[in-house]
Amino acid sequence: MHLDNIVALNNYLDLTTERKLVPFDPLLLKLMNLRKYDRIFPDYISNYDEIMKAYMQIGKAWCGVAQGKPVCAFGIIPLWKGVAEIWMLTDEELPKYIRTFHRVTKQMFDLFFDEYELNRLQCTVHSLNGHGVKWIEALYFEQEGRLKKYGPDGKDFFMYGRLKNGRHTLIAKSSKSSRPRPRTAQTAKGAGGKSGSKGTRKPGSSAGTKKK
């Protein structure tokens, strides 16, 4: 699967014209009503558009469109061989499409590991973003620490990481005696909260996608 072939990518993800991915453009953010913890970035960073353009130069990015409206934007930024970081910004209307959102992001993260030959995929989530925390943990990311005063709003963020085998080493160690509960759209329903979203280390929330 070539990530630059948007038609093939939509076919692979079983998306239709009503719900599909399109190449990301920072101008699409002006059509979005960003959720609370995603608004922090453009609100506090005056040259945010330029930063987003720079991310696109070193990585790849897409926008999820539903019924003709952009409801999420996300991308991947390779850091060095085997390691990359994801970012995400979401719209207030995302909960209407939460099942599609969750399914597609799960597939995309798996594709990232294959296409970039990753050992590790990481992101950051605002420490007050409970919905974003539930969502990213439902996708087998493990909280690794607190980044104090990391955000542009001066608040703390959590660092999350997911390893190549889909289960973080910390998860594996803590579940030797019990089988881990499957992570499904049901267990990840927290991502549909009205004011939360996945915050990520670069622009925004690493953040939270699924089929209604």
pLDDT digits (tens, 9 = 90+) for 31-42: 999 999 999 999
Whole-model pTM? 0.77
Query: What number is the average pLDDT over the span 191-196?
Result: 50
**pLDDT tens for residues 54-92?**
999 999 999 999 999 999 999 999 999 999 999 999 999
pLDDT number for residue 185 = 45
Query: What number is the average pLDDT over the span 4-26?
Result: 94
pLDDT number for residue 176 = 46
d(CA 45, CA 83): 26
Q: Quick check: 150 and 160 in contact, CB under 8 A?
A: no
Q: Quick check: 85 and 118 in contact, CB under 8 A?
A: no
d(CA 106, CA 102): 6
d(CA 153, CA 79): 24
Q: Which residues pair with 159 in a beta bridge?
A: 124, 145
